Structure 1
Amino acid sequence: MAHLRFNALQIAQSRQALPVPSPAERIADYFGVYTFTKDIMRTLLSPEAFGRISDAIDTGGRIDRDIADEVANALRSWAVSKGATHYTHWFQPLTGSTAEKHDSFFDIAGDGKAIEKFKGSALVQQEPDASSFPSGGLRNTFEARGYTGWDPSSPAFLMDNGAGGKTLCIPSVFISYTGEALDYKTPLLKALAALDKAATAACQYFDRNIDKVVPTLGIEQEYFLVDKALYVARPDLVMAGRTVFGHAPARGQQLEDHYFGTIPPRVNAFMVDFEFEALKLGIPVRTRHNEVAPGQFEVAPTFEEVNLAIDHNALLMDLMEKVAERHSLKVLFHEKPFAGINGSGKHNNWALGTDTGVNLLAPSSKPKETLRFIAFVVNVVKAVHDHADLLRASIASAGNEYRLGANEAPPAIMSIFLGETLTKALEDLENKSEISLNKGDNVYYKLGLNRIPALMRDNTDRNRTSPFAFTGNKFEFRAVGGGANSASTMIVLNTIVANQLIQFRRDMDARLDAGEKKELAVVEVLKQYYRDSKRILFEGNGYADEWVAEAERRGLSNIKSTPDALAVYLKPESLALFEKMGVMNHAEVEARYEIELEKYIKNVQIESRVMGDLATNHVVSTALKYMNQLSQTAKSLVDLDMVNEAQPVKGIIRELSGRVMTIKKNVEAMVEARKRANNIGNSAEMARLYATEVKDYFDVIRYEVDKLELLIDDEDWPLVKYREMLFVK
């Protein structure tokens, strides 16, 4: 095994950055060339069909089958002209990844001749095997029928197969034969529709010209890159997506020199390559940089409508993995692939835009617009306060359990950072019954350097330790895991805000019906909301132990375990909320709980098995061979009458022996704990046992293995080390 490690290192060190030719001189010349945009539809469809499809995209209007036939014909014509041979309904089942079943445009006519055919019925609906996807008990394994349905609000696109052909991908929902949602997109679309309706109604108190509110999202995606040869030489990375063993290198991220540093040539070539491909698909990637941890990087796009942003993020992750293969790299999206350094998040920057071009979360100097801004901010704060545990459940996973609260990511405590200026405005609202948001004059830094242009200071600082922070004109939810589908969080966030805005309208109407003036009614309602929810506001260091104690005094939840977090979905108030808002019925919520619980169990189970295999068949066996070498050395020293010189060698042998025995004992105990958990028929209890009795052995075994890494000769150690995976690029 040692030879495998050094062979992998030799291969990794010999690789060079690949040349990546640009598709064109200007991004505008190739942006979206593989996307079936409105401009393309306008040229290929009749005015009536284009109007109907535009109405469906913009307002959710119905698409009849006759229109679908015309759209399908236009799609086929466009796709074939670009080199497509197949089509697929591209959807997001509850596995956490994307899914596709490719069908050919090719068909045989009655006279036996080959034709290219794509009907509206094939565009609108396909039938994948629903029994093979997780359903959480909604379907029996022998009941196979399920349906995918075209989502016209997310444009179709072409995916290069890498073998000379392309596939037309049609973003779709996925439902069971009995109509329940088996995907992320279906409830997300319902949550977005609920928020649009509720927010538009709330806007009427401030501006009757607003007819639509569109939640927007910008997803900052963090990830690690590892050379493919080094990745393959680490079975834990291959099987579990994270390293279960690995001693911290002498140099990690403590020098803070990787963050925003020069991007390594191979990595930069990979970034340029996948950005070219992403831009062709209409994914508006804009930012690339080194992240804090060595080997960690980030990509971020421009804000888009939530549904499209989530589709694009799922597509981007898939695209990054495919492009990485060309560069002999592996992308790691796991929340905590390496111990002792920062993990990866997927920061969700969320805002609310109107059809009049207004960002409802952007401050204003105009009194009427300020009142509206404060109203929406306070309602978001109230929604997060009242449903903090549900928001925590939306980010719960086996991977994120390692990341949250690890002195790098927000803790499991849900809190909100608003900044000094906005917090003072809300305090004035509560204490003085007045709303004043003093944006103030522009403040510039005086650097004493005439040649440097004046630098303007924002009216508040940012807080990177807050899980839910206001950052000037949006809220940034930093607690979402790097490998997650953001739809899970966006379903919850948009639902709870929609629910809160409905309550805001009820409270407002009650006061208005009682004869209260509108502006006064708004102030009084918001004052009460702020009083009820201000305990969730926190401006300090969310990483500090003092905050944990302070949060407990405030009565804020700190749900550290994934099974405990997921259990919030089954609370009566959670079930009632989703059903009342028309987002999910009880059965769909319960199914998602079961699926997420099962994913947690399987992930921890895989980690446990990998840990047992590596500890026994790689580490312990290597330690025993090394002990034998040392024993021969000690014996030779004694034979040479060098007894004193043999003592340190004997001491190392004793330490090795003790650590090997500890590893062996704990691996056996972990296996027995796993067997006990597997024999439990109840999934909730099984998950609890995996979260406690099985995982309790992880740190103990890892500690001993990582100590052995320091004791055993580097030439003999079988596993690629952290210093090699993180710094060889």
Structure 2
Amino acid sequence: MSHREKSIEIALGRTPLSFTPPAEKITDLFASDTFSEDVMRSLLSPEALQKVENAMRGGTPMDRDVAEEVATAMRSWASSKGATHYTHWFQPLTGTTAEKHDSFFDLDSRGKAIEKFKGSALVQQEPDASSFPSGGLRATFEARGYTGWDPSSPAFLMNNGAGGKTLCIPSVYIAYTGEALDYKTPLLRSIHAVDKAATAVCQYFNRDVSRVITNVGIEQEYFLVDKALYFARPDLVMTGRTVFGHSPARGQQLEDHYFGSISTRVNAFMVDFEFEALKLGIPLRTRHNEVAPGQYECAPTFEDMNLAVDHAALLMDLMQKVAERHGYKVLFHEKPFAGINGSGKHNNWSIATDTGINLLQPTTKPKENLRFFTFLVNVIKAVHDHADLLRASIASASNEYRLGAHEAPPSIISVFLGAGLTKMLDDLMNRGEVELEKGENFYYKIGISRIPNLTRDNTDRNRTSPFAFTGNKFEYRAVGSNANSASAMIVLNTIVANQLIQFKNDLEVKLQAGEDKKVAIVDILKQYYKDSKAILFEGNGYSEEWKTEAAARGLTNITNAYEALACYTADSSVEVFEKTGVLSERELKARYEIELENYVKHIQIESRVIEDLSLNHIMSTCVKYQFKLAQTARSLTEMNMLDEAQPIKEVVSDISRHVTVIKKLVYEMIESRKKANHTAELTEKAKLYGSEVKGYFEKIRYHVDKLELLIDNEDWPLVKYRELLFIK
């Protein structure tokens, strides 16, 4: 029995893991494994609690005495729930999370064992900065870096799986020289920048607003593959995607998987990780089958952005751990299978005041609607002016396979508003005022009396738009499923904050000249709308016609990641990041270098996997099968059965032709890889890998996939798509 056959047998033999949901109500279970405000209220003194809450909400620095009390309470709580270790949990620029576990165990001066967790250990730790990507901010021999506790994101308990728990303390990560080496630090800076700029603009409409909160709801798409089948595919293990694989006869063309009945085994996994997520305070609400077979989605409710990004990173780690006990592997790669839909991490972004107003919610009140259009138009202009920077924020080697494919938002950044909202904006521009439609237009009459009235949203949805307004928020659909959402949200926050600062400056000039405030605001919005209208598109973003039209409008279509990433180093990008205080030029260029190196390494690994599979698996299998066919043809010829032997000879010839081409292309790819590796300049190396080395991938794949149809099914060495996608 071949390795592939054994793997299939194991996968088919699995039964759904028995899972009994906890007895508690979800509301009682929620955040039970987090050091929440309720827990702090029961363990901290009122004075300490107040200082912690001030730090969480107002950004007030916390003194070390308070940290000491919090640390004592945190250790007591964690130990009572089975924790033996603690760690600063942070998000370095590797794209994954990081943790270094230290024990609560210590020895006193007499050598007696004690449990200890000092405030200094809560506030600050020191991981090795030279072992994480720094983009030249740190030399190899310069090792010192620091993690620092972020009190605005609650500490939580992570189950280690084999018994015991670890107290995880969400933290920032900076270099010895003070630069950010993580995602959280610039994310927090960008959140502060939006808060400051948006609050200043809100003051023109409502003096009671003292803070603006940035919210996001992060949808997560993913594939599930049986663990045995996963390990039988070296390409999945090494790269997260299948570099070869002929499309099955049945893929997603029947459209029957989307929102279909969830299989028992998959449902058991979903319920299991959802309850684990709820205990960690991750407010998951939605689960369903996605479009492609074997593809699924989960989605939480909206949260404060810092917490939501933490939860999104934590959720990916949690899903992988829970999948192990169900015999699954979770694939977060944006395009793990050719010919079917890839996966995204849709980021639903909105901003709200501390008085409870969603600034992107249209209303029927003229004054409130002017505020709504002020923020709406400023967001549109921010995206228009910095579209390339927003494109750079979602650029990666893996998302490159998805962007622009038929099911994914294109590489052209555009904004969808919907016909109704566009008409309202045009009215504002033409007449200086607008009224929100109301009455029967908001209800459907479907002619069935027993069905309640169905309400109509103020906009339709456009799934082909990378940045779409969906009623009271913007959905950035182009973010990759494998990405840390902070990357895109840092850029979005930064460009919006920068634009709001510009709006305030423009408005102040008019007000100081004695203009009426409402008239001045409308005049500015009219000009902004006129300047930015090219970015608005209501049609099919997948169409070839849109590419032509976008070019005529002056919009860019950056199809590869290495060119998109270069937008980080543009003078306009450096200016906007430095102006808002989110990233210095040095930090920004370091991130560009890190992303470019990451891009090169991913393609380099894929190239080596293609080389290995082609030479050591595919070609050797084909040669063996050819020998069997040749023997059969020879026997038929010796029996004077020439007509019967001829088709077999043709198959042998076809196999030889494909194998010869594969060998030639693989060796050419190796030479192009050597050429790229000998290039010292990183930008040129990335270009060579992205254009020349990667250019061989689909050429080689074409011939390998043709061979899959020619070689006997029992002899083919790789688990096929029909097995990966449909054995659940």
Specify the SS of the correspondent of 1:97: coil
Partner of residue 299, structure 1: 298
- Does residue 606 (structure 1) correspond to residue 605 (structure 2)? The answer is yes
Partner of residue 212, structure 1: 211
Retained in 2: the 8 A contact 1:221–1:298?
yes
- Does residue 105 (structure 1) correspond to residue 97 (structure 2)? The answer is no
Distance in 2, Cα, partners of 1:447 & 1:303? 32
Question: Which amino acid in the other structure matches residue 168 of structure 1?
Answer: L
Distance in 1, Cα, partners of 2:80 & 2:637? 81
Specify the SS of the correspondent of 1:398: coil
Q: Unaligned stretches of 5+ in structure 2?
A: none
Distance in 1, Cα, partners of 2:593 & 2:97? 20
Distance in 2, Cα, partners of 1:578 & 1:286? 35
1:448 Cα deviation (Å)?
2.8
1:113 Cα deviation (Å)?
1.0
- Does residue 159 (structure 1) correspond to residue 158 (structure 2)? The answer is yes
Question: After superposition, what is the alpha-carbon deviation per residue over 1:242-262, rounded to whole angstroms, capped at 9, x for unaligned?
Answer: 000000000000000000000
Distance in 2, Cα, partners of 1:507 & 1:313? 37
Distance in 1, Cα, partners of 2:83 & 2:307? 23
Distance in 1, Cα, partners of 2:632 & 2:335? 40
Distance in 2, Cα, partners of 1:462 & 1:128? 45
Question: After superposition, what is the alpha-carbon deviation per residue over 1:363-417, rounded to whole angstroms, capped at 9, x for unaligned?
Answer: 1111111010011000000000000000000000001100001000100000000
- Does residue 335 (structure 1) correspond to residue 334 (structure 2)? The answer is yes
Partner of residue 380, structure 2: 381
Partner of residue 92, structure 1: 91
Retained in 1: the 8 A contact 2:85–2:102?
yes
TM-score, structure 1 normalization: 0.99
1:442 Cα deviation (Å)?
5.3
Partner of residue 347, structure 1: 346
Question: Which amino acid in the other structure matches residue 117 of structure 1?
Answer: K
Distance in 2, Cα, partners of 1:308 & 1:340? 35
Equivalent positions of 1:369-448 (< 5 A) are 369-441=368-440, 443-448=442-447
Question: After superposition, what is the alpha-carbon deviation per residue over 1:578-627, rounded to whole angstroms, capped at 9, x for unaligned?
Answer: 11111111110011000000110000000000001001111111111111
1:163 Cα deviation (Å)?
2.0
1:452 Cα deviation (Å)?
2.5
Specify the SS of the correspondent of 1:349: strand
Distance in 2, Cα, partners of 1:420 & 1:658? 54
Specify the SS of the correspondent of 2:168: strand
Question: Which amino acid in the other structure matches residue 375 of structure 1?
Answer: T
1:29 Cα deviation (Å)?
1.6
- Does residue 707 (structure 1) correspond to residue 703 (structure 2)? The answer is no
Partner of residue 484, structure 1: 483
Question: Which amino acid in the other structure matches residue 89 of structure 2?
Answer: W
Distance in 2, Cα, partners of 1:538 & 1:426? 14
Partner of residue 535, structure 2: 536
Change (3 A) 1:254 1:605: same
Q: CA RMSD in A?
A: 0.9
Partner of residue 17, structure 1: 16
Equivalent positions of 1:244-323 (< 5 A) are 244-323=243-322
Question: After superposition, what is the alpha-carbon deviation per residue over 1:408-428, rounded to whole angstroms, capped at 9, x for unaligned?
Answer: 010000000001111001111
Distance in 2, Cα, partners of 1:39 & 1:79? 14
Question: Which amino acid in the other structure matches residue 432 of structure 1?
Answer: R
Partner of residue 625, structure 2: 626
1:28 Cα deviation (Å)?
1.1
Question: Which amino acid in the other structure matches residue 6 of structure 1?
Answer: E
Specify the SS of the correspondent of 1:175: strand
1:674 Cα deviation (Å)?
0.3
Question: Which amino acid in the other structure matches residue 97 of structure 1?
Answer: T
Question: Which amino acid in the other structure matches residue 619 of structure 1?
Answer: I
Question: Which amino acid in the other structure matches residue 369 of structure 1?
Answer: E
Retained in 1: the 8 A contact 2:364–2:435?
no
1:441 Cα deviation (Å)?
4.0
Partner of residue 49, structure 2: 50
Distance in 2, Cα, partners of 1:140 & 1:536? 42
* Runs of 4+ displaced beyond 3 Å: 439-443
Specify the SS of the correspondent of 2:2: helix
Specify the SS of the correspondent of 1:624: helix
Question: Which amino acid in the other structure matches residue 497 of structure 2?
Answer: A
Distance in 1, Cα, partners of 2:80 & 2:608? 49
Distance in 2, Cα, partners of 1:460 & 1:648? 59
Q: Unaligned stretches of 5+ in structure 1?
A: none
Distance in 2, Cα, partners of 1:579 & 1:25? 49
Partner of residue 69, structure 2: 70
1:454 Cα deviation (Å)?
2.6
Specify the SS of the correspondent of 1:695: helix
Question: Which amino acid in the other structure matches residue 427 of structure 2?
Answer: D
Partner of residue 557, structure 1: 556
Deviates more, 1:572-581 or 1:275-284: 572-581
Question: After superposition, what is the alpha-carbon deviation per residue over 1:56-76, rounded to whole angstroms, capped at 9, x for unaligned?
Answer: 001100100011101111101
1:24 Cα deviation (Å)?
2.1
Distance in 1, Cα, partners of 2:195 & 2:436? 26
Change (3 A) 1:442 1:78: farther
Distance in 2, Cα, partners of 1:437 & 1:587? 46
Specify the SS of the correspondent of 2:381: helix
Retained in 2: the 8 A contact 1:439–1:459?
no
Equivalent positions of 1:508-547 (< 5 A) are 508-547=507-546
Specify the SS of the correspondent of 2:346: strand
Partner of residue 645, structure 1: 644
Question: After superposition, what is the alpha-carbon deviation per residue over 1:689-716, rounded to whole angstroms, capped at 9, x for unaligned?
Answer: 0001101100110000000000111010
Specify the SS of the correspondent of 1:677: helix
Distance in 1, Cα, partners of 2:453 & 2:250? 38
Specify the SS of the correspondent of 1:405: coil
Question: Which amino acid in the other structure matches residue 69 of structure 2?
Answer: E
Distance in 2, Cα, partners of 1:295 & 1:121? 47
Change (3 A) 1:144 1:575: same
Specify the SS of the correspondent of 2:199: helix
Retained in 1: the 8 A contact 2:411–2:557?
yes
Retained in 2: the 8 A contact 1:421–1:437?
no
Question: Which amino acid in the other structure matches residue 10 of structure 2?
Answer: I
Retained in 2: the 8 A contact 1:130–1:145?
yes
TM-score, structure 2 normalization: 0.99
Retained in 2: the 8 A contact 1:72–1:118?
yes
Partner of residue 178, structure 1: 177
Question: After superposition, what is the alpha-carbon deviation per residue over 1:171-221, rounded to whole angstroms, capped at 9, x for unaligned?
Answer: 000001111100000001000001000000000111111000001000000
Retained in 2: the 8 A contact 1:24–1:30?
no
Specify the SS of the correspondent of 1:346: coil
Specify the SS of the correspondent of 1:567: helix
Question: After superposition, what is the alpha-carbon deviation per residue over 1:444-476, rounded to whole angstroms, capped at 9, x for unaligned?
Answer: 333333332232222321101000000000000
Partner of residue 139, structure 1: 138
Partner of residue 674, structure 2: 675
Question: Which amino acid in the other structure matches residue 435 of structure 1?
Answer: V
Specify the SS of the correspondent of 1:700: helix
Deviates more, 1:433-442 or 1:14-23: 433-442
